[in-house]
Structure 1
Amino acid sequence: MMCGAPSAVQPATAATQAIADKVRPQLEEKENKKFPQFKAVEFKSQVVAGMNYFIKVQVDEDDFVHIRVYESLPHESKPLALTSYQTHKGRHDELTYF
């Protein structure tokens, strides 16, 4: 993977789901609602001074959100941070940089 360029879209893994689960409370607080489900479907990653994850998450039968999560470098010992998100996405909406 080239530094700075997002990876190709990949199917979500257990590790991707764990990242999404950790920032779910941040998103629910920002949106002031609880999501009936929170299933990571696919993701891209981007090497920066740490790692950005762009994750498509299914939050209802036909409703998806795209979240961007920042993981700092290990020596910084910072928690995962929800840095941006897009709501009202569909199953076929492309996961792009935002």
Structure 2
Amino acid sequence: MMTGGLSDTEPATPEVQDIVHQVKPQFESMVNEKYGIFKAIEYRSQVVAGVNYFIKVQVSDSMYVHLRVFESLPHENQGPKLVSYQTGKTRDDPLTYF
């Protein structure tokens, strides 16, 4: 993968699901809602001074959100941070930079 470019879309891994679980409280606070389902479906990544993850997350039977999460370099010792999100997505909506 080229530094700065977005990777191809990949199925979510256990590591990506772990990131999603870590930022779930941040997302719920931002949208002022609680979700029983919060399942990572697929993702793209972008290597910067850390990694930006663009993650499609299922939040109900037919509702999806896209999350942009920044994970800093390991030596900075910080958890993932929700940077941006898009609501009202479907399973078929492509993950793009936002």
Task: State the TM-score, normalized to the length of structure 1.
Answer: 0.98
Q: Per-residue CA shift, 1:41-75, capped at 9, x if unaligned?
A: 00001000000000000000000000000000111
User: Does 2:35 match 1:30?
Assistant: no
Report the RMSD for the aligned CA atoms in angstroms. Answer: 0.6
Out of 5-14 and 73-82, give the one that drifted further.
73-82
Q: Which runs of 5+ in 1 are unaligned?
A: none
Aligned residues: 98
Percent same amino acid at aligned positions?
A: 56
SS at match of 2:59: strand
Q: Residue 44 of structure 1 aligns with which residue?
A: 44
Q: In the alignment, residue 97 of structure 1 is paired with which amino acid?
A: Y
Give TM-score, length-normalised by structure 2: 0.98
Q: CA separation in 2, counterparts of 1:34 and 1:75? A: 32
Match of 1:70 in 2: 70
User: Where do 4+ consecutive residues of structure 1 move more than 2 Å?
Assistant: none
**How far, CA to CA, are the matches of 1:50 and 1:12 in structure 2?**
19
**Which runs of 5 or more residues in structure 2 are unaligned?**
none
1:56 aligned residue = 56
SS at 1:25 equivalent? helix
Q: Which residue of 1 aligns with 2:9?
A: 9
